[in-house]
Amino acid sequence: MIKSRAIILHRFPYSDSSWIVKALTEECGIVSFIVKGGKSKDSPFKGALDPLASCEVVFRENPHAELLFVKEASILNWHKNLRENLLYLAEAQVMAEIILRYAPQGVPLQEEFLLLEEALSQLDEGDAGGPEATALENRADSASNPIAVGREVTSPTSAGNVFARFLLNICDLWGYHLDLTACSCCETALTEPPADFQPETGALICKACLGVSTSRARPETLRGLWSLRTGTSLIQPQFTENALLAYLRNHIGFMKDLKSLQFLNETRKLYFSP
């Protein structure tokens, strides 16, 4: 028998009463469980196998079976606060789907487990004002003082940074290291936000190397990459997140569409639309 911490990545119906559960386990990587009677209100696994829940599971490993049976499952962290914040929930679902779809299969994924566990915990803790307050403050700042849009706020653990930081770390973990410290052309250390970013190659271009050419990247993206470099809070994280997703997509090659991205994009409109 194997006893391991796990994070539930996905769950879908198997029958009128049962679930198929995809979990990222600390010991065995991604595992598929069949949970018979899991839909019952009297199920002993109630809550523990909900999507995005952190739990401890006991199961018997069988290399010849695609679906394993869970003997025990107990909740470690249901992430209640995360679930009550629509934006954080949407970001968490995308992170879970990235691991589910693109992490190596059939091998232990301890680093991926720790990375996702930390990200979910940070979103669950959130920040004082939450994304709603941050978005409203940004709109007020931009209306009264355009310079404030580029202001860096010292708060490296802000929940607004979590998704972008996760994407940066997962790229590094899977061998797609993105160097935020130097210009990709002249290799000079950056002392200010880059003048351009190319998601196809991950190249950051300094002002001198860009010259009179027009930057392809949005100013918000460039400021966000600089904030990740300096450990300060992202003001408009969605632009940086999209750039990092594009970078990851280009390096993975053929990348299946992430179904959770549609939900995230719709949710962003609620928080960030003027």
Any idea what the CATH number is for the domain that residue 36 is in? 2.40.50.140
CA distance 227 to 229: 5
Alpha helices by DSSP H, listed for the chain, are: 80-83, 86-102, 110-125, 130-144, 162-173, 207-210, 219-230, 237-252, 259-272
pLDDT, tens only, 6-34: 999 999 988 888 999 999 999 999 999 99
- Domain check: are 71 and 195 in the same one? no
- Domain check: are 254 and 146 in the same one? yes
User: How many structural domains are present in the chain?
Assistant: 2
pLDDT confidence of 38, banded at 50, 70, 90? confident
What percentage of the chain has pLDDT greater than the value 90? 70
- Domain check: are 241 and 268 in the same one? yes
Q: Quick one: pLDDT at residue 37? A: 86
Q: What is the mean pLDDT of the chain?
A: 87
Full residue range of the structural domain in which residue 168 is found? 81-272
- Domain check: are 140 and 168 in the same one? yes
Strand 19-25 with 2-13, pairing = antiparallel
- Domain check: are 91 and 185 in the same one? yes
- Domain check: are 182 and 211 in the same one? yes
Q: What's the pTM?
A: 0.86
121: buried, middle or exposed (CB in 10 Å: 19+, 13-18, 0-12)? middle
Instruction: Record the tokens describing residue 127, joined without a space.
Output: 């920040």
Q: Which of 78, 107, 128 is the last residue of a domain?
A: 78
Q: Which of 78, 111, 135 is the last residue of a domain?
A: 78
Instruction: Record the tokens describing residue 257, joined without a space.
Output: 């569409």
Q: Quick one: pLDDT at residue 138? A: 44
Asked if pLDDT for residue 148 goes beyond 60, the answer is no
Q: Quick one: pLDDT at residue 258? A: 85
- Lowest mean pLDDT: which of 13-17, 130-134, 160-164? 130-134
pLDDT, tens only, 76-92: 999 999 999 999 999 99
Q: Quick one: pLDDT at residue 255? A: 57
Neighbours of 226 (CB within 10 A): 20
Q: Which of 78, 107, 138 is the last residue of a domain?
A: 78
Neighbours of 183 (CB within 10 A): 21
CA distance 204 to 184: 6
Any idea what the CATH number is for the domain that residue 100 is in? 1.20.1440.120
Q: Quick one: pLDDT at residue 235? A: 87
- Domain check: are 91 and 220 in the same one? yes
Distance of CA 90 to the CA centre of its chain: 9
- Domain check: are 116 and 31 in the same one? no
pLDDT, tens only, 58-114: 999 888 888 999 999 999 999 999 999 999 999 999 999 999 999 988 899 999 999
Rounded to whole angstroms, the maximal C-alpha distance in the chain is: 67
pLDDT confidence of 225, banded at 50, 70, 90? very high
- Domain check: are 12 and 112 in the same one? no
- The whole-number average pLDDT for the span 116-139 is 66
Q: Quick one: pLDDT at residue 165? A: 96
Geometric angle at alpha carbon 8, from 258 and 116, rounded to 5°: 70
- Domain check: are 9 and 51 in the same one? yes
- Domain check: are 6 and 20 in the same one? yes
- Domain check: are 157 and 246 in the same one? yes
